[in-house]
Each structure stands twice: as structure tokens, then as C-alpha cells.
Amino acid sequence: MLDLIIVGAGTAGLSAAIYATRAGLSTLVIERAMYGGQITVSPEVDNYPGIPHTSGAELAQGMYQQAEDLGAQFAFETVESVEEEGGLYTVRTDAGTHTAPALILATGAQNRPLGLAEEQRFTGRGVSYCATCDGMFFKGRPVAVVGGGNTALEDAEVLAGICSTVYLVHRRDQFRGEHAQVERLRTHANVEFVLDSVVTALEGEDKLQAAVVENRKTGEVRRLEVDGLFVAVGQIPQNQPFAHLAETDAQGYLKAGEDCRTSRPGLFAAGDGRTKTVRQLVTAAADGAVAALGAAEYLRSR
Ligand code: NAP
């Protein structure tokens, strides 16, 4: 019988698996796609303590291998529903059913769309949510990045080395992302900051040809002739199958404090899917450790 099920094999889930197995818990990690989560598409990770330079994929591979070597089991299945009865969590997937008395939800978040009328039609035809994945399709061409967080800044940096022009469109004149990264971007002659501006329309026939942007302060409207538009405006938590199990906030994040405990005994939330202020690799890894040790303590005290 399993002691613990972890849903999600991103940084938080893999860190939880490492700590849970080291605490002697029989642990199953369920992941619907590739292990590693969001970090796998980051080409450079320079802010993980003790590892000055690595790639997201390399880091993810290391975490997965470490968890597997320690004895964590993995099931690459899609979770369809989760129920709790009599202190036992039943996780139904597209391949079967798994049960355990403790559950860690570490399913992270997915990309938020801009919500423009033509956005879906142009997705894969100019609109992308992953510069690392799709940047090379726009080699030598003009593109725009939308957003002011670390993802947008990183995307602009990657694209500056590939594309002829990169317009960085942000709705304010202050960036949420790291100051050092903003300064680095300013050194690229082919990056133009388009601040206080929002994209209001996308234009093109079969493929994207232009993004219409409006300056929110002056009302000025500009038509940026771009082949690509990279949307990096944050994430939406992926908690839908679990939302009924515990309290969530208005955005759908599972309410849990620094101890990662949700409103339901035995149910923990770790990583980007829980309420928190800093969503970073290190905080996801920290959550995994806290949730796993919390689960071990919960199981001991039952
Ligand atoms: P984020 O930090 O939430 O930033 C989202 C950005 O998009 C903000 O600048 C926001 O503007 C803007 N935005 C939101 N909705 C918008 C809309 N409808 N239209 C236009 N702009 C909109 O998201 P993120 O950049 O994806 O980062 C998520 C988390 O991962 C963060 O904690 C980040 O630090 C972390 N991360 C870390 C690394 C790294 O450490 N290497 C890399 C990538 C991401 P406002 O600022 O005006 O709200």
C-alpha cells in the first residue's frame, strides 16, 4: 500500500518525492506529460543556489533521476478525479486507480492567454507561448513579446539572439521581472521596449502579420509588423480536478501557508499552484520538502 501520492512531477513534485522517499514513505508520483514541469523550457537557469549555470532540462533530469534512484515510483498518467473518503485519497487516472492516505498536489500552473479574439486562430501560426520551443521558427524575422515578468524578459533575451527585431510590449513602465535582466536587455540594439502598452488586436490572413498596440497613457495606436507574438503574461493554476477538495482563492490557487497544508487533513499543496508571493524554482523545491515532511508527520500522527 502506498503512503503518499504526489500529483505533478515539476520541481515541487520531484523535490517532494526526494524528501518523501528519504523519510521512508512509499511514494508514487503521477505526471501527465514529461517530468520537470515549467523549468524544462528554460534554456538557462542561473539562480539555483550552488549551481551557477545550468539548463532547466538538465536540472529536471537530475531531480527525476535522484527521486527514482531513491525509490520513488512514477506513473505517466492523466489524473481525471480525486476523492477522499475515510482518510483515504483515491486518484483516478486514464489508466487506473491509486489510493494513499496522504496526497501532495504539485500540478503548477499553465500559460495565461491574452484573451484576444484572434489569439486562438493564430496560435501555431505566429502566436506562441514558448520562446525556447518556437523561437527558431522566427529566425531573422521581427517578433514581439508581451509581458513584464521574468518569463517575458527571458523570452526577449532568447529571441534577441535569433530574431531581427524584438518588441517587448508591457502594460506598465515598471517590470515585475529581475532588474538585472531588464538592464541586460537594454544592451541589445534589436530590442525595443514598448511600455505602458497593450496588444488590442492581431492581424493577418493565414499567419500573423501584425500586432496592434495601444499606449494606455497617450492613447497612441501603433501597428507592429511582426511574424511572431510570444505571450508571457503569467499563469493560471492547474487545480481544476482538485478544487472541490480544499479551499482555493479567487484565482484558483489552493489556499495553503508556508507549511503547505490545505484545509483538508492529509492534503498538501506545493509549488506554483498554492497561494504564495514568490514563485521561483527554489521556492517550489522548498515547498516539496516542506510538504513531504508534513505528510510524513501527518502519517505518523494518525
Ligand atoms: P508573472 O511574474 O506573473 O508576470 C506576468 C506579467 O504579465 C506581468 O508583468 C503582468 O503585468 C503581465 N500581465 C498579466 N496579465 C496581463 C494581460 N492580460 N495583458 C498584459 N500583460 C499582462 O509571470 P511569469 O513571468 O510567467 O513568471 C511566473 C513565475 O515564475 C514568477 O514568479 C517568476 O519570477 C518565475 N520565473 C522565474 C524564472 C527564473 O527564475 N529563471 C524564469 C521564469 C519565470 P503587471 O506586472 O502589470 O502585473
Catalytic residue among 133, 173, 249, 259: 133
Q: Is 163 annotated as catalytic? A: no
CA dist list (Å): 55 to 41, 43, 133, 197, 250: 9, 5, 14, 32, 34
pLDDT in tens, 155-191: 999 999 999 999 999 999 999 999 999 999 999 999 9
Give the pLDDT confidence of 43-74 residue by residue, as tens digits.
778 889 999 999 999 999 999 999 999 999 99
Mind listing the pLDDT tens digit for each residue in 29-50?
Answer: 999 999 999 888 777 788 899 9
Q: Which residues line ligand 1 (CB under 6 A)?
A: 42, 45, 47, 114, 146-152, 154, 171-172, 176, 198, 232-235, 279-281
Cα distances (Å, whole numbers) of residue 28 to 122, 126, 205, 241, 242: 39, 39, 48, 18, 18
Q: What is the pTM of this model?
A: 0.77
pLDDT mean over 264-290 = 95
pLDDT at 42: 77
The set of residues, in sequence order, having a beta carbon less than 8 Å from that of 23 and lying 6+ positions away, is 292, 293, 296
Which residue's CA is minimally distant from atom 14 of ligand 1?
233
Mutation test residue for ligand 1: of 46, 53, 171, the one with most atoms within 8 Å of CB:
171
Tell me if residue 134 is catalytic.
Answer: yes
Q: 96 C-alpha vs ligand 1 centroid, how far in Å? A: 36
What's the pLDDT score for residue 40? 87
Q: Rounded mean pLDDT of 78-88?
A: 97
Ligand 1: centre distance to CA 302 (Å): 40
* Residue 206 is among the residues annotated as catalytic for this protein: no
What is the tens place of the pLDDT at every residue in 86-136? 999 999 999 999 999 999 999 999 889 999 999 999 998 999 998 987 899
